[in-house]
Chains A and B, each alone.
Chain A
């Protein structure tokens, strides 16, 4: 176990949020349920975490047995949010489990307008729907694209490699 990183919220502060907490390489991670997710972010925003620097998704289809704190059931998808407090120079990470059968999560657009593009990216790449998002459309892939490329069951695709030169015309 590595030492705690100095710019993450401390264990005592993290316990105060009432959700399961874990530490990954010294970085504090909060694991709210889907129902508690939006309230927790709102509470953190009111608590001085005035920036959402990143929001992304992870598809754990091929890696279901990752360590999670007690009380958190693993689901296929995870949405990972990095919050920052510019005043207190602190970061905190939020990981919320999203089941495959009902891949829906409330949007953070009303708390941090800057998550708009990130949520669109997660929707585009993983197919997770953010309810209340003002414009949930594909952002990177073409609008008529089928499938969500960063899902683990979406193949990379191959370009056939030509191992021989074409036969000589001579």
Chain B
């Protein structure tokens, strides 16, 4: 790990004696999380008069700067306010909301059938995870059992989506720490996954494929060859990433020992996914609270030991390998059968029945205009997305529209670890740390 000037840093003479930023280890983690420094606010009120400014700027003054919301390294419209002493970050605070479009409010105006078109736009890099949480929550309220093939298709898509999401992260992370070739490679491999998604769902993003009651369409002919192709090509490419980044001194220098977080801190801040696992906590909902058929499959939960940016890189790289293992098993186990539940209440009649039956036409029309009624109740369902726990709190009042639909997006919570991770680091490290959190602002702001 690289040596960081942490020992005698930043001692200022004040009228109350010398005050300084002690090394991280000097503060108890619970204390560290609770400190007011995590809450950095710029005072409101009238704009400063230039005449009031003290032009004599002394060395020992800290400076508050904004990074973003248009900074190219913040993964979308994230703004980070930082209090700097020279190059060292004292306090920071992520400021979000620039992409807020009120999707939870919109979700209350859409029926359960239409709802997936809404939630799929939240975390636009891993939309299947959000669609899945939404659909599982709706099905829990309806108390319908999805046919096995639909569940296996959902798992296949979710795992491929995890691979695609991590590949995109590999690409943007490479870009952030200065490896432009990694960016091109990551996007190249993700293209394979997107091509498959396009074949299955017809779209490259915002799929609206996993719906309450099953999936929108069966897998197309020849899907197995495409999956085989992905399983054949990607592992070799991952080894190339290993060659390109894992052992490379510049990359290790930029990431090792940078953005360290402990398991206590991560848990208290509600972080999940690769951030929590990088601290050594082996926590993966797919293994620890299995849903769908993950309990029957064999895979490892990848954990780190230092909780730094490099661990998070290594975890994501190896999670792609684990997901490939899972895709292999899912592809082998894929049963024949229905791809959506044969429940007339939830599933519209097939297209060909509409041409021959008036009742089918009316039924089809009713489901798509009015929607289906969902019994009164409330439920919370969580799945493991690429960035951590993706949950859906669904409250129904018995009408065809959700009374309240709240999506717990992993990025929103994970972003809170940023002030802890960047504290005492350098500005250049902040870029690598923001990248290692992997926030998707569509999911953060919703």
Contact = CB atoms under 8 A, between A and B. Distances in A.
A58 B393 CA distance: 10
Interface in B431-446: 445-446
B197 interface: no
Interface string A12-55: 00000000000011010000000000000000000000111110
A71 interface: no
Given A53-B382, A113-B268, A140 B100 contact: yes
Contacts of B38: 113, 116, 134
B288 A89 contact: yes
A115 B41 CA distance: 18
A45 B377 CA distance: 27
A159 interface: no
A114 B416 contact: yes
A168 interface: no
Interface in A136-158: 137-143, 149-150, 156
Given A58-B395, A117-B416, A150 B288 contact: no
B370 interface: no
A117 B268 contact: no
A116 B269 CA distance: 9
B64 interface: no
Q: Which 5 A-B pairs have the closest CB atoms?
A: A114-B270, A113-B33, A135-B39, A114-B269, A63-B397
Interface of B: 33-34, 36, 38-39, 41, 44, 96-97, 100, 102, 104-106, 109, 140-141, 143, 267-272, 281, 283, 288-289, 376-380, 382, 389, 391, 393, 395, 397, 403-404, 406, 408, 412-413, 415-416, 445-446
Given A114-B269, A115-B270, 15 more contacts: A24-B379, A50-B267, A51-B267, A51-B268, A53-B270, A53-B272, A54-B393, A56-B406, A56-B408, A89-B289, A113-B269, A137-B41, A140-B97, A140-B445, A149-B105
7 contacts: A66-B376, A80-B393, A93-B380, A114-B270, A118-B413, A142-B97, A150-B105
